Amino acid sequence: MKSIFSLVFLSIIGLSSCAQQPKANDIPVENDPKNYTTALVVSDLSIPWGMTWLPDGSMLITEKSGSLIHFKNGKKIEISNVPEVYLRNQGGLLDIEIHPDYKKNGWLYLTYSSKEGTEKGGNTALIRAQLKDNALVNIETLYKGSPNTTKGHHFGSRIEFDNQGYLYFSIGDRGARDVNPQDVTRDGGKIYRLHDDGRIPKDNPFVATLNAKKAVFSFGHRNPQGMAKNPKDGTIWVHEHGPRGGDEINIIQKGNNYGWPVITYGINYSGTKITDETKKLGMQQPLYYWVPSIAPSGMAFISSDRYPQWENSLVVGSLKFQYLELLTLKNNTVVKRQKLLEDIGRVRNVAQGPDGYLYVAVEGKGIVKIIPN
């Protein structure tokens, strides 16, 4: 069981979080500055969920339908031997990331909705594999959420490595908000941390907690579909879908409870209340939240010198309002909001490429490159 010291520590953290008010949506979003042009670099994609780059500059792109595409020299090559996905509603082939030392070991990582298990339906799985002759080989399942369920929403899922080589990934609450997010003995509504080969780090926060999922790093999440490493300090940032209102950005810290569904700034889709509480002892306040929801998907820090006017900014895709939101940060506080790519379509992902440019995945369109004037 968790020690008394650790419980007291979490309570102290909770007290400090209650004292800090989040930066609510009292910052109006400014119009698109239009100080850039765009180029469609990969066309004819349906729902491009994840994207990453190989050392040679070519791209790997996941389509939610289950296809993995290698875009190289202007051509799309479909990769074979991709695991079968549980394709239902939000479920499918999700995120992709390469190992920080990919040049030496060739490992790439994927999350997807998997039917593996005895129950009907699916849940989020994390695998690693290598690429050879346009096929995935040496596939290893590193983690599989359980139990399977036929519910078609809240799979998560994003992947990120930190500066120490730990692997983080997210699983949404799988539509079971009253049982999964607040219970560390159950999968769902969590951020997980593993070694790159799937081993559980010995200092994960719940390794000594009876019956806990030992891979859990933080809990109380709803449906995290954005994850990025802050290049300044190496912290892992996550954003997640709220219900109707209450989309959040959080800095992920070991063992913290981010509140869902006990506290939230959102309401049910029907307009009824989920809870009267927006803060509670032992539960973290978001760094920022949106009301109304923008339905965020994909997130990236801008760290290159390609966009000097957007220095110290974070970009977040909006599925609902079909634009890219630029958030200017100062001391981990949002001080300015701007629309980019207004009316471009449902933005599913955004990433900074190895060439320093921003690439935006747009549903029904493809991958768009932002080129500053």
pLDDT in tens, 360-372: 999 999 999 999 9
pLDDT of the residue at 85: 98
* CB atoms inside a 10 Å sphere around CB 84: 13
In the 8-state DSSP scheme, what is residue 117?
Answer: S
pLDDT band at residue 2 under the 50/70/90 scheme: very low
Window from 10-24, 96-110, 148-162, 262-276 with minimum mean pLDDT: 10-24
* Res. 19: pLDDT tops 80: no
Structural domain including 141 reads 4-372
pLDDT in tens, 268-286: 999 999 999 999 999 999 9
Rounded to two decimals, the pTM is: 0.93
Name beta bridge partners: 285. Answer: none
The answer to whether 268 touches 304, Cβ cutoff 8 Å, is no
> Hey, what are 373's tokens?
């004037």
Domain tally, the chain: 1
As a whole number, mean pLDDT of residues 222-229 equals 98
**CATH assignment at residue 241:** 2.120.10.30
* CB atoms inside a 10 Å sphere around CB 66: 16
Name beta bridge partners: 233. Answer: none
pLDDT in tens, 126-141: 999 999 999 999 999 9
**Long-range CB contact pairs, 361-364, < 8 A, 24+:** 361/45, 361/48, 361/49, 361/51, 361/61, 361/298, 361/317, 362/48, 363/45, 363/46, 363/47, 363/48, 363/319, 364/45, 364/46, 364/47
pLDDT of the residue at 24: 54
The answer to whether 358 touches 351, Cβ cutoff 8 Å, is yes
The chain-wide mean pLDDT, for the chain, equals: 93
pLDDT band at residue 253 under the 50/70/90 scheme: very high
pLDDT of the residue at 25: 61
pLDDT in tens, 102-122: 999 999 999 999 999 999 999
List of residues 6+ apart from 362 with CB closer than 8 A: 48, 344, 345, 346, 347, 348, 368
CA atoms within 13 A on the CB side of 244: 9
Active site residues: 154
* Res. 321: pLDDT tops 50: yes
pLDDT band at residue 15 under the 50/70/90 scheme: very low
The answer to whether 250 touches 241, Cβ cutoff 8 Å, is no
As a whole number, mean pLDDT of residues 313-318 equals 98
As a whole number, mean pLDDT of residues 148-163 equals 97
* Sheet hosting strand 48-53, strand order edge to edge: 48-53, 59-63, 68-72, 75-79
